[in-house]
Amino acid sequence: MDLLNTLVDKGLRRELPSRDEALAVLATSDEDLLDVVAAAGKVRRHWFGRRVKLNYLVNLKSGLCPEDCSYCSQRLGADTGILKYTWLKPDEASKAAAAGLAGGAKRVCLVASGRGPTDRDVDRVSATIKTIKEENEGVEVCACLGLLSDGQAERLRGAGADAYNHNLNTSEATYGDITKTHTYADRVDTVQKAHAAGLSACSGLISGMGETDQDLVDVVFALRELDADSVPVNFLIPFEGTPLAKEWNLTPQRCLRILAMVRFVCPDIEVRIAGGRELHLRTLQPLALHLANSIFLGDYLTSEGQAGKADLEMIADAGFEVETTEQVTLPEHRRGGGCGSVCGSQAPDEASAEAAEPATEPAAEPAVKAEVPGPRTDLVAVRRRGAGTDVAPNA
């Protein structure tokens, strides 16, 4: 059985691929790309149908961070020209959230820059969560406040938070190259704290930081091991003024292979396309919907995304539908804390009926090679609307 047939079968059984299989997905040729997308798309449709979950970011506190994450526009001393402001009040945050929900989002992600929250910060965010929940029935709220101290996850859960986001970002082996002010182990600890408190764990990665394929596979396997319910896949936005400003090394095809690999390793987990979607996938964004079942609507924390209306049109044009608050994102076996084990108990008929075509032989060199576009700095726009401004948000 060839690679893609094997990966589809494993994905439908929730069986972990081998590391070599995951690496082989990243090494596929452009000739095989549509076969890879079709195969991973079968796994995506099996567990999530054609639903796309929309998430909406509200940046509660922007910039002014003492940490040194080299990919981040909010890092210590970064000269990136981003909006800088301190904590939004609960009613301001709720107003921003309402715009995203009106645009079709079902989850609001409340994010604050910083190493981690003080207990007073947890009080503030708890008040914000309560306000948003009171004003918007059925909304899911995820908090993303950095490293958590003991007891803070429980307090957020008590205030009504459904989920907590803290990304691993990259492999343990290379973590020290991108950040010096905290460790990979610190990040793992916070994801585990959130999980233990009954919060749905959201943890993902950033690709395009100069990492190897091994690093990507390492971090995705680590996320699966941590039993994250949702895995945001970021494509580095190389902000001028950050140490990674020159790291323009992603192509749309590479982004699709990364998303496919994540889908095969995390078949029944929410795979979310996060920052950098417009920048790196560009015109191939609709193909990525066959791999991920979740995206952010509208703008990101410090940069602008494509218009919310364009997101909705893209979803409809590609034949997908926006997930409603009545629809539950995760498959039944993952609800209520999730299932961290590799069950391997299901082998639906679809597995054999929809088996992928074999991957073809390595592609011959094309007669005329398509030109790889250079850095698309023209597509990086610092956010100047929404939270922290007087300008209407993009949703």
Contacts (Cβ under 8 Å, ≥6 apart) of 47: 267, 268, 293, 331
202 annotated as ligand-binding: yes
144 annotated as ligand-binding: no
Pick between residue 69 and residue 122 the one whose CB is nearest to ligand SF4: 69
Q: Cα–Cα–Cα angle for 304, 306, 312, nearest 5°?
A: 135
Examine the residue annotation and report whether 272 is marked as an active-site residue of this protein. Answer: yes
Examine the residue annotation and report whether 266 is marked as an active-site residue of this protein. Answer: no
Pick between residue 126 and residue 167 the one whose CB is nearest to ligand SF4: 167
Examine the residue annotation and report whether 202 is marked as an active-site residue of this protein. Answer: yes
Q: Which helix (H) or strand (E) holds 288?
A: helix 285-288
Closest distance of CB 203 from ligand SF4, Å: 13
Cα-based distances in Å from 327 to 49, 241, 317, 330, 331: 11, 42, 21, 9, 11
Residues of this chain that bind ligand SF4 (CB under 6 A):
65, 67, 69, 72, 74-75, 113, 115, 146
> Token pair for residue 64?
């002014």
User: 109, 144, 255, 266: which is the annotated catalytic residue?
Assistant: 109
User: 65, 144, 255, 266: which is the annotated catalytic residue?
Assistant: 65
User: 51, 72, 187, 383: which is the annotated catalytic residue?
Assistant: 72
Cα(338)–Cα(394) distance, integer angstroms: 33
Closest distance of CB 146 from ligand SF4, Å: 5
CB atoms within 10 A of CB 325: 14
19 annotated as ligand-binding: no
Phi, psi of 303 (to 5 degrees): -130, 160
Pick between residue 94 and residue 179 the one whose CB is nearest to ligand SF4: 179
Examine the residue annotation and report whether 335 is marked as an active-site residue of this protein. Answer: no
User: 142, 144, 255, 266: which is the annotated catalytic residue?
Assistant: 142
- Residue 298: exposed, middle, or buried by beta-carbon count in 10 A (0-12, 13-18, 19+)? buried
Closest distance of CB 84 from ligand SF4, Å: 12
Phi, psi of 284 (to 5 degrees): -90, 10
343 annotated as ligand-binding: no
69 annotated as ligand-binding: yes
Pick between residue 206 and residue 330 the one whose CB is nearest to ligand SF4: 206
Residue the block writes with tokens 């919310």: 308
Closest distance of CB 283 from ligand SF4, Å: 29
Closest distance of CB 312 from ligand SF4, Å: 29
Pick between residue 178 and residue 291 the one whose CB is nearest to ligand SF4: 178
356 half-sphere exposure, CB direction, 13 A CA radius: 27
- Helix/strand/coil (H, E, C) string of 149-214? CCCHHHHHHHCCCCEEECCCECCHHHHHHHCCCCCHHHHHHHHHHHHHCCCEEECCEEECCCCCHH
> Token pair for residue 38?
């079709």
User: 272, 277, 334, 383: which is the annotated catalytic residue?
Assistant: 272
Pick between residue 78 and residue 99 the one whose CB is nearest to ligand SF4: 78
Closest distance of CB 284 from ligand SF4, Å: 27
Cα(239)–Cα(302) distance, integer angstroms: 10
Examine the residue annotation and report whether 144 is marked as an active-site residue of this protein. Answer: no
Residue numbers in the known binding site for [2Fe-2S] cluster are: 109, 142, 202, 272
* Catalytic residue list: 65, 69, 72, 109, 142, 202, 272
Residue numbers in the known binding site are: 65, 69, 72, 109, 142, 202, 272
Residue numbers in the known binding site for [4Fe-4S] cluster are: 65, 69, 72
